[in-house]
Amino acid sequence: MHRLTRLVVVLFAATALLAPATTASAAAPQAAGTQHRPSCSVVWFDLGNTLVDTSVPGRMTWMPGALRHLWLLRSVGVPVGLITNVPPEWGATDAERAAATKAYVNSSWAESQPFPWELFGDRILTPRTKAESKPAPALFERGRDAAAPCRSFYEGETPGEITVAEQTGLTGYLIGQPNRPAYLPVWRVLLP
């Protein structure tokens, strides 16, 4: 039954991607030479204690359900990214800080398969200065702007970060709450 449920969710999500958005702008006549663009989304994540369990020093593993959630988003074509605090001294550029973040996680990774950094591409945002560290709005603004014109979502475990993400225009989801899905339901990401 569990596999059947998963298949239904994936099929629903895939159908939602293929169906045209039903918004007022979608119903309006298109100007000559223009084509309707269906809505799109990017889902940003905090790293520590959202995707990666850091509760045991020196031993990082997946949070329950995190890898399955990432693969489900990928299976329906939703790009994912990281918005994570690391020391700004880890590099002079975003690419250098991302490389240092990868090295840090890899050095303590205790799972049998390597962490799938390829899922995130160049969508790894880290603070350039201490003032940019979350919960400051700067990283959320950068994520929103990098995803534009697509919608941005942010999943994390810290209520204050969710509040600031929402104040900057992202749709927030506080993970791991009782009586609701551990991660943002994929169908919500796919809705126009």
pLDDT of residue 109: 98
pLDDT of residue 2: 43
- 39-190 belongs to CATH 3.40.50.1000: yes
Coil, strand, or helix at residue 34?
coil
Quote the tokens at residue 162: 């969710």
Residues in CB range of 8: below 8 A, 6 or more apart: none
Q: Considering the entire predicted model, what is its pTM?
A: 0.81
The Cα–Cα gap between 137 and 188 comes to: 23
Coil, strand, or helix at residue 3?
helix
pLDDT in tens, 54-105: 999 999 999 999 999 999 999 999 999 999 999 999 999 999 999 999 999 9
Write out the chain's pLDDT in tens, 192 residues.
444 344 334 444 443 333 333 222 222 223 333 333 346 999 999 999 999 999 999 999 999 999 999 999 999 999 999 999 999 999 999 999 999 999 999 999 999 999 999 999 999 999 999 999 999 999 999 999 999 999 999 999 999 999 999 999 999 999 999 999 999 999 999 988
Matching residue, tokens 């629903």: 12
Matching residue, tokens 């298109």: 30
Quote the tokens at residue 75: 């299976």
pLDDT of residue 39: 62
Domain boundary assignment for the chain:
39-190
